[in-house]
């Protein structure tokens, strides 16, 4: 029997979900299944063409529901899991007992482990390390900014490889997650040099930000509009300025000029400003603790003017916040 596993690509939890589903499927459904993998990316106009579902069984893990007759298994924990109401109605009326959704889970890997144990008698304990790491990484529950930026553990290194490396490498690594430790995977001759190069670029970006960023009254600001950098790890500013509360930055990503607004997860005081609401006033959006505004390509002066206003507003907001020592311990 042929099984196709579709998973969220460029994502540590997506890869771990594919790995644990493989183990579950072989132990519970078909021991001799011939399994292959394909990654899925979020797109503005999401489609699920027939060629994604060539198996006798076809699964999607850690990604949106597909209203396709050949989809036989589905696990997701994302807030926005359905493309439209009709898809959600189709899921709600499904009686296969093989499609599962719970946005309360921090990782889809843990969700598959729990459903497998409770409904199918599957024992996920040999994969406990993988499950634990997926939970931490998918919810960004790092102990410190240094841990988030310096990536001391194999799981974090593997995350950088999954997020930034070339096509199909993730699909090669997924089966290895069942037979080798992540430390051993990171030592492989086809993986170690990929990580080294990606990590070198990451360290370069820390230096570029170190040179350009300043922190005043709890607010970090830096302007990368004329730097050769279209993105950066969002925890770098807090690694450089542990006492900061908020960050505002400008990046020229080519197709757009982006203002990023964030708050320090390890701040010594609790950031109280709702950054989604703030960004909405400039046509952007996001979450309460992190938001962004996109202007058109080349609108750098406009972005600089808005960023200056935002820095001023956040500087006022950061004044007089009470210390919350407990937050620093996470
Ligand atoms: Mn996930």
Which one is predicted more confidently, 60 or 230? 60
pLDDT-derived band at 115, boundaries 50, 70, 90: very high
Determine which of 219-228, 263-272, 281-290 has the lowest per-residue pLDDT on average. Answer: 281-290
The domains spanning 2-150+164-180 and 214-328 adopt the same CATH topology: no
User: 58-67, 134-143, 289-298: which has the highest mean pLDDT?
Assistant: 58-67
Determine which of 41-55, 81-95, 244-258, 301-315 has the lowest per-residue pLDDT on average. Answer: 41-55
- Percent of the chain at pLDDT > 90 equals 78
Q: If DSSP codes are grouped into helix, strand and coil, which group holds residue 222?
A: strand
> How far, in Å, CA of 259 to CA of 240, rounded?
19
How many angstroms is it from 106 CA to the middle of ligand 1?
7
How many angstroms is it from 253 CA to the middle of ligand 1?
26
pLDDT-derived band at 285, boundaries 50, 70, 90: confident
The predicted pLDDT at position 168 comes to 85
How many angstroms is it from 62 CA to the middle of ligand 1?
5
How many angstroms is it from 286 CA to the middle of ligand 1?
18
pLDDT-derived band at 329, boundaries 50, 70, 90: very low
How many angstroms is it from 152 CA to the middle of ligand 1?
22
Instruction: Give residues with Cβ within 8 angstroms of 65, minimum separation 6.
Output: 71, 74, 76, 81, 82, 83, 87, 88, 90, 91, 99, 101
- Percent of the chain at pLDDT > 70 equals 96
How many angstroms is it from 266 CA to the middle of ligand 1?
23
> How far, in Å, CA of 219 to CA of 51, rounded?
49
pTM attached to this predicted model? 0.81
The predicted pLDDT at position 164 comes to 79
Instruction: Give residues with Cβ within 8 angstroms of 217, minimum separation 6.
Output: 315, 318, 319
Summarised one tens digit per residue, pLDDT across range 180-220 is 999 999 999 999 999 999 999 999 999 999 999 999 999 99
Asked if the model's pLDDT at residue 326 lies above 80, the reply is no
The predicted pLDDT at position 324 comes to 53
How many angstroms is it from 248 CA to the middle of ligand 1?
27
How many angstroms is it from 117 CA to the middle of ligand 1?
19
Answer whether 36's CB lies under 8 Å from 4's CB.
yes
Summarised one tens digit per residue, pLDDT across range 44-81 is 567 899 999 999 999 999 999 999 999 999 999 987 78
The dotted CATH code for 2-150+164-180 is 3.90.1640
How many angstroms is it from 94 CA to the middle of ligand 1?
22
- Topology, domain 214-328: Diaminopimelate Epimerase; Chain A, domain 1 (3.10.310)
Instruction: Give residues with Cβ within 8 angstroms of 206, minimum separation 6.
Output: 149, 236, 239, 240
Asked if the model's pLDDT at residue 258 lies above 50, the reply is yes
> How far, in Å, CA of 290 to CA of 279, rounded?
9
How many angstroms is it from 21 CA to the middle of ligand 1?
13
The predicted pLDDT at position 27 comes to 97
What tokens appear for 131 in the block?
A: 């499950």
> How far, in Å, CA of 314 to CA of 219, rounded?
7
How many angstroms is it from 278 CA to the middle of ligand 1?
27
Asked if the model's pLDDT at residue 303 lies above 90, the reply is yes
Answer whether 281's CB lies under 8 Å from 288's CB.
no
Asked if the model's pLDDT at residue 31 lies above 90, the reply is yes
Answer whether 3's CB lies under 8 Å from 30's CB.
yes
The predicted pLDDT at position 81 comes to 87
**Which sequence spans correspond to the domains of the chain?**
2-150+164-180, 214-328
What pairing do the DSSP bridges indicate for beta strands 257-263 and 290-295? antiparallel
Tell me what the pLDDT averaged over the chain comes to: 92
Q: If DSSP codes are grouped into helix, strand and coil, which group holds residue 325?
A: helix
How many angstroms is it from 76 CA to the middle of ligand 1?
7
Asked if the model's pLDDT at residue 256 lies above 90, the reply is no
How many angstroms is it from 182 CA to the middle of ligand 1?
19
């Amino acid at each position: 029997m042929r099984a196709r596993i579709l998973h969220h690509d460029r994502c540590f939890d997506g890869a771990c979900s594919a790995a644990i589903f493989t183990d579950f499927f072989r132990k519970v459904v078909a021991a001799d299944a011939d399994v292959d993998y394909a990654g899925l990316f979020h797109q503005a106009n999401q489609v699920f063409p027939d060629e994604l579902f060539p198996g006798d069984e076809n699964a999607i893990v850690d990604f949106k529901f597909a209203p396709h007759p050949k989809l036989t298994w589905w696990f997701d924990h994302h807030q926005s899991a359905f493309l439209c109401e009709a898809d959600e109605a189709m899921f709600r009326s499904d009686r296969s007992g093989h499609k599962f959704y719970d946005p309360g889970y921090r990782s889809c890997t843990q969700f598959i482990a729990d459903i497998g144990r409770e409904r199918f008698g599957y024992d996920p304990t040999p994969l406990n390390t993988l499950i634990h790491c997926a939970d931490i990484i998918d919810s960004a529950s790092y102990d410190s900014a240094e841990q988030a930026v310096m990536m001391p553990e194999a799981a974090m290194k593997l995350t950088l490889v999954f997020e930034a490396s070339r096509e199909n490498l993730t699909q090669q690594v997924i089966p290895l997650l069942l037979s080798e430790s992540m430390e051993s995977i990171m030592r492989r001759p086809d993986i170690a040099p990929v990580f080294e190069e990606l990590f070198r670029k990451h360290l370069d970006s820390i230096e570029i930000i170190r040179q350009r960023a300043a922190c005043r009254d709890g607010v970090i600001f830096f302007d990368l509009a004329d730097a050769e950098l279209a993105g950066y790890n969002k925890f770098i500013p807090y690694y450089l300025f542990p006492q900061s509360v908020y960050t505002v930055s400008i990046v020229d990503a080519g197709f757009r000029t982006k203002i990023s607004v964030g708050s320090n997860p390890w701040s010594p005081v609790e950031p109280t400003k709702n950054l989604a609401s703030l960004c909405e006033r400039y046509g952007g959006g996001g979450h309460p603790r992190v938001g962004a505004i996109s202007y058109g390509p080349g609108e750098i002066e406009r972005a600089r003017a808005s960023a200056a206003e935002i820095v001023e507003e956040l500087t006022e907001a950061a004044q007089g916040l009470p210390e919350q020592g407990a937050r620093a311990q996470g």
